Amino acid sequence: AQSVSQHNHHVILSEAASLELGCNYSYGGTVNLFWYVQYPGQHLQLLLKYFSGDPLVKGIKGFEAEFIKSKFSFNLRKPSVQWSDTAEYFCAVKSSYKLIFGSGTRLLVRP
């Protein structure tokens, strides 16, 4: 069965620091990959997605992710975080019709 691993459960950064959240998946075939974000008190929102083509995907709010097939990875990056990026981030892979989610990473950005 497919699985998704997010290695960092909690990350604390200061504003303007760079961010990279790890995500690895287990499936070896064609994959559709997603990053979702859940801000405090808000519902899950799509941050970005990869289906095919350019492995570097740009999303909302300055986030980007790079699909590296050889490493089964889809890491999320942002060059300079803001306090408003404090949230929980979920990586997900589409398996058939459903999404398999990672365990999530809680990001706290200190002002």
Partner 1 sequence: SAVISQKPSRDICQRGTSLTIQCQVDSQVTMMFWYRQQPGQSLTLIATANQGSEATYESGFVIDKFPISRPNLTFSTLTVSNMSPEDSSIYLCSVAAGTGIAETQYFGPGTRLLVL
Residue selected from 28, 52, 54, 111 as contacting partner 1 according to rule CB under 8 A = 52
Residue 28 to residues 2, 25, 49, 63, 68: CA-CA distances in angstroms? 9, 8, 18, 25, 12
Interface with partner 1 (CB under 8 A), residue from 36, 63, 67, 74: 36
The answer to the question of residue 70 lying near partner 1 (CB under 8 A) is no
Instruction: Assess 68 for contact with partner 1 (CB under 8 A).
Output: no
Secondary structure (3-state) at 61: helix
- 108 binding partner 1? (CB under 8 A): no
Q: Does 58 bind partner 1 (CB under 8 A)?
A: no
Q: Give how many residues touch partner 1 by CB under 8 A.
A: 20
**Quick one: CA torsion of 75, 103, 43, 19, rounded to 10 degrees?**
-30
* 60 contributes a contact to partner 1 by CB under 8 A: no
With left for phi above 0 and alpha for psi between -120 and 50, is residue 47 left, alpha or beta?
alpha
The span from the CA of 106 to the CA of 84, in Å, is 13
Binding interface with partner 1 (CB under 8 A): 32, 34, 36, 42-46, 49, 51-52, 90, 94, 97-99, 101-104
